[in-house]
Every structure is written in structure tokens, then in C-alpha cells.
Structure 1
């Protein structure tokens, strides 16, 4: 019995071309096609497929609809596997997709679409609860992890990084406290802690803030 698949892609030519390629595989039957997040979720509810193949960027915003769709589908239909397609090896999207568990999920680059056998293998794997990661995505995730390990910000807690991010936006302690629903005393404590971890304890306060923000901005590049 063929694998029943819903396919979502907003680009007409890519959608038709990929659907035509998948139609040549006896192991797959496309039961629904969508061009937006809303259409994808409706098609999944209507057809109850074994697996979903979806682009990341689709209407309405053209940003991360595929990632959000994959999460919603896995939450409401845990028996359905989802393979997300991306034009580029974007480790932040891959991390967002997989951070709560990789079972039943796949992340492939669109260049793999031309290899029908590989695409069918990926869909089959996620449909049975496995996971599939494009080798280039793995490389990007490893590189990002190595960068973080060597970053001076690696020792900061999540809250300290959050406070530092607001400092980088030019906010003073009062504004940071309001944004994060903290007391000013708590913000001051976090700032002193991150100064210490960044080795800025001996500098004047204004200079310490500047140096800490520079470290944050360097880490974002």
C-alpha cells in the first residue's frame, strides 16, 4: 500500500514539478496539495496522510510557516511524519524544528528533491517515527555548536543573555526590568553576574556595558 502524502509548496512551478516527480514513485500517493499554512493544516485534517512534505516559507508571512505547521501537525496528529524542505542550510530553523524531539521529523534541502528515491526514503522514515537530517544541516548545526562553545557568552545563563540582548537595544536597567517583568534589583544582579563572567569586573560601569554589548553583537555575526 503506497504512502499517503500531503505536499505543501507556494511556488507553482516547484509544486507542480515536485508533485510530478513523486507521482513517478509507486511507493507514494499524493492525496493533497497545499500552497499556504492554512491550506496545509486543512489538507492534513481532511486526508489524514501518513506523511507531509512541506516548504518552510509559505503564505501568509513567507517566513517559518513550514516549521510552525510541522509542530502543529506533530502535536495534533503524532502518527503523521513531516519532512520540511529548505532552500538553505539554516541551523536556527533546524534547531527550532527539532528542539522538542526529532521523532517523526525530517529536514532536507530542496536540492534533494530531484532524487526521488531519497525523498521517498525520507518520507517513509518519518512516517514510521524516525528522523531524517540533510548532511549539510548536520554540518551547520555542528558548526553553530562549536561557535557557541568558544563564545565568551557560553557561560551566561539564558536570563543573563536575555538581559544582555536588551542592553544591546540601548535599554537602561529600568526599561529592561519592565520588559522582562523583573525588579530593577534583579536586573542589576544579572548584569553584575554577566560582567563577572565576561571578565569585566574592573572596568568603569559605562565602559563595562559597552564592552558587554560589543561581545553580544560579535556573537551574533
Structure 2
């Protein structure tokens, strides 16, 4: 994969570059702020951009705002927000604008390099990869907890795994239940959230993003 990294912490930026290059990927640019990120993406057109949330000059939400601009201008480019912070407002806007090929992972919760690399590959392939804690906070900020209340604890657990991009088979293996049981849970989630079958919509993604709609 061809990758752009946007991270203002020099040690972490260099560490990501070394990790990805030694695993056979091509880091075409590594920058430290949102404007440089936007320029690097326009110049190199990578497969994926790895973006921190807080970067110069204000160290608040520059990374996410840059990600939203990139998604508008390059809708097919994969975006992984990789941060220790959850910024709900712009994260919701980024995801609601089209969640294919988008990820949001928390640095302190990525315990395995293989998981990180797998997430990048899935995002580049157009999948959605979200840390469950990110989903929980965005849902809470959206004021749609009433919809969540319709789900049973097991359905919430399945929805959280769906948000991580796991297949029904992987969910069944993790929960030690049958594949048919998982299919039933997923169908119940769709029904309770009012997601009717549609060839044009990805209901697994919509189930996660339902709460993000204004």
C-alpha cells in the first residue's frame, strides 16, 4: 500500500514510518500538520492516510477537519484516524459523510501490530473499522440513546463487533455461538433500528451510523 502519515509527534511519526516500510508498504509522505496532509494527499494520491486528531497550530481537531476535506475531494481514499482522543463532532461528520474506507482507532487500545496492519488493509479495501469506545462516545454525543435502548445486551455486543468490521463468522467464533444465531441477532438489530433491506445501502454500516444522523 501507498500511505501518507500525518502525526505531529516526531518519534511516533518516525516509528510508524519504520513499522510500515519494514512490512513492505510505501510511505510516500510523513507530515506534521493538516495543511501539509492535504497537500501530500493531493500530490501522491495514496491508498490510505493515517491521521492524528490534534496537530498544529491549535492542537485541537485539525486532523479530523483535514480528513473531512480529503474525504470530500478524494472519496475513494482510505482514511484511518489514529489518535488518543475522541472528537465526537467532526468524527460523526466524517463517518456520516460516507463510512466506506474509514477507520477510527485509539492508540492506547491497539495492543497488536498485526491488528493495526490488518485495519489498514481493510480500510484500503473499503471496509469500516471503528474502535467500540469511539462508537459509544459518538452515539452518546448524538443524543440517540433511545434507539440503543431497543437493543438487548447481546445485540449491543454484536453491534459493537460489527462496528469493528468483523464478519458474522468472526462474531460467532468470538461469542461461541452458531453462525445462525449471529444472523438472527443482526437481523433483529436491523429491524429495531428501522433499516429495511436495500441493494443501495450497506446496512451493517448504517446500523452503526444510524445514531449519527441529524
TM-score tier by shorter-chain length is 0.5 to 0.7
Displacement after TM superposition at 1:146 (Å): 6.8
Displacement after TM superposition at 1:148 (Å): 5.0
* CA displacement, residues 42-83 of structure 1 (integer Å, 9 cap, x when unaligned): 111111101100101111221111111111111111221110
Count of aligned residue pairs for this structure pair = 147
Please report the TM-score for the alignment, with normalisation by the length of structure 2: 0.61
Q: Name the SS of the counterpart of 2:127 in structure 1.
A: coil
Structure 1 match to 2:9 = 11
Please report the TM-score for the alignment, with normalisation by the length of structure 1: 0.59
Q: Please tell me whether Structure 1 or Structure 2 has the larger radius of gyration of its CA atoms.
A: 1
**What is the RMSD of the two structures over their aligned residues, measured on CA atoms?**
2.3
Structure 1 match to 2:80 = 83
Using the TM superposition, name which of 105-114 and 11-20 deviates more. 105-114
Change over 3 Å in CA distance of 1:143–1:72 after alignment to 2: closer
Change over 3 Å in CA distance of 1:19–1:145 after alignment to 2: same
Displacement after TM superposition at 1:111 (Å): 2.0
Residue 136 (structure 1) aligned with residue 133 (structure 2): yes
Displacement after TM superposition at 1:32 (Å): 0.8
* CA displacement, residues 59-114 of structure 1 (integer Å, 9 cap, x when unaligned): 12211111111111111112211101121344444323212221121111012556
Matches within 5 A, 1:52-131: 52-112=49-109, 115-131=112-128
Structure 2 CA distance, aligned partners of 1:146 and 1:79? 30
Unaligned runs of 5+ in 1: 151-221
Structure 1 match to 2:18 = 20
Matches within 5 A, 1:72-221: 72-112=69-109, 115-144=112-141, 149=146
Contact kept? 1:8, 1:15, Cα under 8 Å:
yes
Structure 2 CA distance, aligned partners of 1:134 and 1:119? 11
Write out the 4+ residue segments of structure 1 that deviate beyond 4 Å after TM superposition. 142-148
